[in-house]
Amino acid sequence: MTTISSVTDVRGRVAARVVGRQRELELLLAAVGAGRDVLIEGPPGTSKSTLLGAITTEWGIPLVFVEGNADLTPARIVGHHNPARVLREDYSANNFVAGPLVQAMRSGGFLYIEEFNRAPEDTLNTLLTAMAERRVTVPRMGTVDALPTFRVVASMNPYDNVGTTRLSSSVHDRMCRLAITYQDAECERGIVALRTNNDAPRMIADAVALTRATREHADITQGSSVRGAIDVALVAAQLASLRSVPIPRAADVEPPRDLPEPYLAVMFDAMLVALSGRIHLDETVETTPESTLRTIWEDYFLLRPAAAAPG
Ligand SMILES: Nc1ncnc2c1ncn2[C@@H]1O[C@H](COP(=O)(O)OP(=O)(O)O)[C@@H](O)[C@H]1O
Ligand SMILES: [Mg+2]
């Protein structure tokens, strides 16, 4: 299952289900194919779950998902004995309820821990031991040996520093690392088209460009991922239909200067709904999400096309 040839097959089949990301897919497959555990570092919405879901589906193994947070204690990740049954029957292997780590080890799946750096220190230590030994020993239950395809894949947002632990060097020393960033605009247009069934290139190009601009704006510390662009396109299509506003045909990537005002209003309202909760403003700046989005909308539709026009 983890031989080089099957890794090559999997790459071909996964590539058909994912827009772009060939290099990341290749590096990730090489690491898990080599039997390694991996830490993926990247902001939200950068294909981490998509890649892992596609790889495990193609490999025919489970993807066991768990979110890293303060509640993810060692007992929760390993499992616990059902208290009611313990009262009746005393502790036994039969009344042990497997947690995600034991589930993934038993089934030879990938244990995918999002926001890894939000998990408590003792949970990280439990995981390190499981990664090193490929087995866990649970008191009054016994020892679980991991099937050969068991992997730990962790992810974290490198810009996240609320409620996080700085990962110790012993964690970093035991995992391979893949850094992942936002895709280019063309790939993001491909993703939005794929996920929305929206066949209006004008609206998709605008949704992607407006969302990408939130990542560049000086007053925004973290802008929106492609998830925001997907929602701008979905909400805008609904609004256009509710208001009977035609979607302009112009399919160029750059917005033309003569876009009708009702269409521009649809795009602004869709931005408000889809993006205002997704952008994180710099706390030292006195502004609102609405006015920041307004600037982005004006720069994109009203200032930029005029500036680009000849003469
Ligand atoms: N490369 C891609 N190909 C197709 N869809 C993608 C791609 N990247 C992201 N998406 C879509 O964007 C959304 C967020 O992607 P996801 O993989 O869940 O991000 P992450 O796990 O990094 O937060 C999902 O709806 C997913 O379908
Ligand atoms: Mg995800």
Domain boundaries, the chain: 4-179, 185-308
Contact 46, 114 (CB under 8 A): no
Task: Give me the mean pLDDT over the 78-88 stretch.
Answer: 90
pLDDT in tens, 156-174: 988 776 666 677 888 888 8
Distance from first CA to last CA of the chain, Å, rounded? 62
pLDDT attached to residue 3: 53
Q: Which atom of ligand 1 is nearest to the CA of 20?
A: 1
Q: Is residue 206 a contact partner of residue 253, using CB atoms and an 8 Å limit? A: no
Ligand 1 is surrounded, with C-beta below 6 A, by: 18-21, 44-50, 191, 194-195, 226-227
Tell me the residue ranges of DSSP E strands in the chain.
38-41, 63-67, 79-81, 96-98, 110-114, 135-138, 142-145, 151-156, 176-179, 220-222, 280-281
* Alpha carbon nearest to ligand 1 atom 17, residue: 47
Q: What ligand is nearest to the CA atom of residue 227?
A: 1
Q: How far does the centroid of ligand 1 lie from the alpha carbon of residue 68, in Å?
A: 19
| Domain 4-179: assigned CATH number | 3.40.50.300
In 3-state terms the chain splits into helix, strand, coil percentages (rounded to 5) of 50, 15, 35
What is 185-308's CATH number, 1.10.8, 1.20.120, 1.10.3470, 3.40.50?
A: 1.10.8
Instruction: Work out the mean pLDDT of the chain and round it to a whole number.
Output: 91
Residue range 23-33: average pLDDT?
94
In this predicted structure, the answer to whether residue 26 has a pLDDT above a threshold of 80 is yes
Which 8-state DSSP code applies to residue 151? E
% residues pLDDT > 90 (the chain): 74
Q: Of all protein residues, whose CA lies closest to atom 1 belonging to ligand 1?
A: 19
pTM of the complete model:
0.90
For ligand 1, mutation pick of 57, 191, 197 (most atoms within 8 Å of CB): 191
pLDDT band at 4 (very low <50, low <70, confident <90, very high): low
Tell me which H or E stretch contains 243: none
Tell me, what's the pLDDT at 9? 81
pLDDT at residue 298 is higher than 80: yes
Burial class for 295, CB neighbours closer than 10 Å (0-12, 13-18, 19+): middle
